[in-house]
Structure 1
Amino acid sequence: MNVEKIQNKKVSDHVVERIEKMIESGDFTIGEKLPSVRELCELFGVGRSAVRDAITTLKGKGTVEVKQGEGTYIRGFDSSSLFKSQVLLPSLKDIQELFQVRKMLETGMAEMASLNRTDEMIIEMEDILSNQSESGWGSDYRFHMAIAKSSGNEILLQLVEFISSAMKKVMIEFYKHIEKDIKLVNRIDQQHARILQAIKDQNPKAAYQETMDHLAFVEALLQSSVLENA
């Protein structure tokens, strides 16, 4: 395996980045045991303390699991541990997989909402979008949850709530990232308004497409943020 040696600069952070990239590329796979500390030292050309610190960081992020007396194992993506203690953006792969699920669930959810919504639910969604005292992630979360409620499917509501909870920290940081760009904020507001109008008009096809366009737009912005911070 050809691996570039690491230069002396925040060595443990570089080790973390290299291991994460090797997981993404498939060099290390989910469930696989990582090489020993000694082997990782040789692989990356760094000291034992740097490797140990890197493993501690990866454990805190939920990327690896340390089994006493056995070794360190690669974990699958754990949405509940995404963005635990530090303000970090997830990998492109994490974003793609989360939004694949969101697109499958929320487009169908918007279709169902357009058929099942009541006048009271429309008023609730209108109030959320017009509330000037609440913006950013809080308003976004309440709006998408109101659509889920309007679908009339309790299991779907719980699934969307779980995904929203998993993405809470990243979406909070996302809105902080774009809040100074009024054009972007207005564009997202307009997308929400078009989704609501389609639901209000009881147009499932339009509700589906407007939701898909909105999620694709937000996903692209998040991917851009990851690349900027890479």
Structure 2
Amino acid sequence: MTQPIEQIVRRKLSDEVFDRLERMITSGELQPGDEMPSERVLMERFGVGRPAIREAMQSLANKGLVSISHGERAKVLRLTAKSIFRQVDLTAKIMLSQSADSLEHLKSARIFFERGMAREAAQRASANDISDLRDIIERQRASLGRAEEFIDADMEFHTRIAQISGNPIYVAVSEAMLAWLKEYHTEMLIWTGKEKFTLAEHDEIVDRLEANDVDGSETALLKHLERSRALYAK
């Protein structure tokens, strides 16, 4: 039986350089805040030309591993959950713009996620957390009629609930999903008077959180999101 051909593909020099630079970061040889070695040092170390170094460095920047400023050495970035999600912001928005199914899946994922956040927050909310949430609602109430400000306050409210968990990954997930959905949050919210429902529902959610009512908090948040999901449309 004839064996299938397994062609060996020669990699670009810049790909090899990228792998080595990435290992310098992941191994701890270079720490967050450190400057990357100069182009000349890297050219001598790896035995390649300047174009390969520059292309590899740009790939590192595109992946959020380093920052590049004109006239300065590239610096290693400290990776956080937030910075990682920011790397996929553009591609996520393109995916959503191309598929109605993807938008519906994101709405469903957000509801699933926030139900858990409400239950977590009901068990952990402090007096300061409750005070912050009520302050956000008041700022939201004061922005009635100004769509952009109202929606920003809405996003802040839901992210603040995620912050009660104390888990930065939850906060980053919340911020990312809300930012992606904001692209499709229509101004129907403002012009149809539905903002009054939003404010009342936010008040109810905070009341349940303050009472440490786990089931009631989830129910109030689920009711709120199921009603408002229709406001997100392609």
The equivalent position to 1:156 in structure 2, one of 161, 164, 170, is 170
Structure 1 residue 104 and structure 2 residue 115: aligned? no
Q: Residues 133-188 of structure 1, C-alpha deviation per residue, up to 9 Å, x if partnerless?
A: 444211101100110111222221111111122222222xx2x2221222x11111
| Pairing of 1:192-207 with structure 2 (within 5 A) | 192-207=202-217
- Asked if 1 retains the 8 angstrom alpha-carbon contact of 2:137 and 2:157, the reply is yes
The equivalent position to 1:185 in structure 2, one of 172, 181, 195, is 195
SS in 2 for 1:146: helix
The structure with more radius of gyration: 2
The equivalent position to 2:159 in structure 1, one of 145, 164, 167, is 145
Counterpart of 1:31 in structure 2 is none
Structure-2 separation of matches of 1:208 and 1:106? 8
Counterpart of 1:18 in structure 2 is none
Q: 1:92 to 1:217 in 2, by over 3 A?
A: farther
With structure 2 as the length reference, what TM-score do the two structures score?
Answer: 0.54
Q: CA deviation at 1:214?
A: 1.2
| Pairing of 1:85-104 with structure 2 (within 5 A) | 91-104=99-112
Q: 1:82 to 1:106 in 2, by over 3 A?
A: same
- Asked if 1 retains the 8 angstrom alpha-carbon contact of 2:89 and 2:176, the reply is no
1:156 partner amino acid = Y
Q: Residues 43-90 of structure 1, C-alpha deviation per residue, up to 9 Å, x if partnerless?
A: xxxxxxxxxxxxxxxxxxxxxxxxxxxxxxxxxxx8634667xxx977
Unaligned runs of 5+ in 2: 1-87, 144-148
Counterpart of 2:138 in structure 1 is 130
Q: 1:162 to 1:221 in 2, by over 3 A?
A: closer
Structure-1 separation of matches of 2:109 and 2:215? 19
1:179 partner amino acid = I
With structure 1 as the length reference, what TM-score do the two structures score?
Answer: 0.55
Structure-2 separation of matches of 1:110 and 1:90? 31
What RMSD in Å do the two structures reach over aligned CA positions? Answer: 2.3
- Asked if 2 retains the 8 angstrom alpha-carbon contact of 1:125 and 1:143, the reply is yes
SS in 2 for 1:170: coil
Structure-1 separation of matches of 2:111 and 2:183? 19
Unaligned runs of 5+ in 1: 1-77
Structure-2 separation of matches of 1:178 and 1:167? 14
Structure-2 separation of matches of 1:152 and 1:115? 12
Q: Residues 97-141 of structure 1, C-alpha deviation per residue, up to 9 Å, x if partnerless?
A: 011111111110011011111111110000000124444211101
Counterpart of 2:128 in structure 1 is 120
SS in 1 for 2:183: helix
